[in-house]
Chain A
């Protein structure tokens, strides 16, 4: 049986904001691209994120996905296949020959793109790896009780709860909420000695949303340091300190208390405290993509010391964009997609020139 054949100047693996932005920027540059998304739907993580606006936009960037999806759907240079996985890749001539395999669960959804139906061989001159980063699985930090203690959620779950309206006057109405920062970040014992950049920002923003939805609620922010999450940070921080309780300590554990989770933490000069909360949110960090090694093998992509993919030192014609290359916010991932687009476009241009000249 012979595979279906496809030719594309640039192949983009991953249809999150970084991959979509790379495709849109390539189209702006007049270069066609094909996006291959593993899941049935485009959008990556951002598709589960809530809007974090209160009185004004909180600049979380989540809504920009909508803009990108509309652009990607309308630009004729962009082809999108969902539910597709690259299973083999070989350098061929100046570019790559990639085997794509359809994944189960692909239905034609409302968004742009259609599912890949058959095994396909794709020839391309450049590859952009925009497969995103892995959000830390909080089960890896057993002592925080995720999956064992009722009322403990990861921040990803909170994003989904907020966007579905599960939290608020009509849903869950926790009186006391705790955010525990740096879960799976800044942690040498896990071999994850990096700050994830995004979690201070998303946690403070979601904390503010909770305070707005439930003005009676009390929000506690267990942290070590607050990272800046945008230009407005300096102005906002004093205000946030009034709205929430900032506790500069990492809790020792989260246990099942009397019907609700209890957080054990210590303040300087005081004995350790066990405090009950109705909702404990673990601010999970961003790590290297799960399949980094598989992709590394597939395309020989280089990795940095933390395991993130990198363009530097990798094979010619393979570029990396977005959170796959290191912790990045949505806006930063989009802009980074623009860099990969520029690099891929100049490679395509120089190959074309070489062929004709």
Chain B
């Protein structure tokens, strides 16, 4: 791979994204790789490797990689990192960039659709609310509005209220 063909700006781009600030501090010690539970099951998943690719500026390769969506957000990597890279959040920043550029995998899209529809991943039905009523708990409301706002499908509620009718 020719470094001249890579995008040196990518690491700065990730660092400018909320959560991505720590990426450049990584000194490649591999403590995270040793402990990542996903890596323990998927030989091709390696936090240090993803960081390396990002630092090298292999933008397309990283953003389109299915691997970045595998993180279980267990925060173990950040726990052991001597350089406070906070890889979980770095990866969230990378995923945000990827999603913006249309790289989100189908599973992520389905997740987003479910959230937009239901406000949560699992639909709340009468079954759950009856059970809750038996226990003296109030029913759960489906409030998809917040997520629709986050996903940009509709304006946020507060903003909507201020809008002239």
Interface residues of A (CB under 8 A from B): 143, 182, 186-190, 224, 249-253, 264-272
On whether the beta carbons of A266 and B46 are closer than 8 Å, the reply is yes
On whether the beta carbons of B39 and A252 are closer than 8 Å, the reply is no
| Docked complex Cα distance between A270 and B49 (Å) | 11
On whether the beta carbons of A250 and B35 are closer than 8 Å, the reply is no
- Asked if A266 meets B82 with Cβ closer than 8 Å, knowing A271-B40, A271-B43, the reply is no
Q: How many interface residues does B have (CB within 8 Å)?
A: 21
Interface residues of B (CB under 8 A from A): 25, 27, 29-36, 39-40, 43, 46, 48-49, 80-84
On whether the beta carbons of A250 and B82 are closer than 8 Å, the reply is yes
Residue of B nearest to A267 (CB): B30
7 A/B residue pairs, CB under 8 Å, sorted by A:
A186-B27, A186-B82, A190-B82, A250-B34, A250-B82, A251-B34, A253-B35
- Asked if A264 meets B82 with Cβ closer than 8 Å, knowing A249-B29, A271-B40, A272-B40, the reply is no
- Secondary structure at chain A's binding surface: helix, strand, loop or mixed? loop
- Asked if A189 meets B30 with Cβ closer than 8 Å, knowing A264-B35, A272-B35, the reply is no
- Asked if A188 meets B31 with Cβ closer than 8 Å, knowing A268-B49, A271-B43, the reply is no
On whether the beta carbons of A252 and B82 are closer than 8 Å, the reply is no
**Across-interface contacts of A266 in B (CB, < 8 A):** 30, 33-34, 39, 46, 48
**Across-interface contacts of B33 in A (CB, < 8 A):** 249, 252, 266, 272
- Asked if A189 meets B39 with Cβ closer than 8 Å, knowing A224-B27, A224-B29, A250-B31, the reply is no
Residue of B nearest to A190 (CB): B82
Residue of B nearest to A253 (CB): B35
**Across-interface contacts of B82 in A (CB, < 8 A):** 182, 186-190, 250
Residue of B nearest to A252 (CB): B34
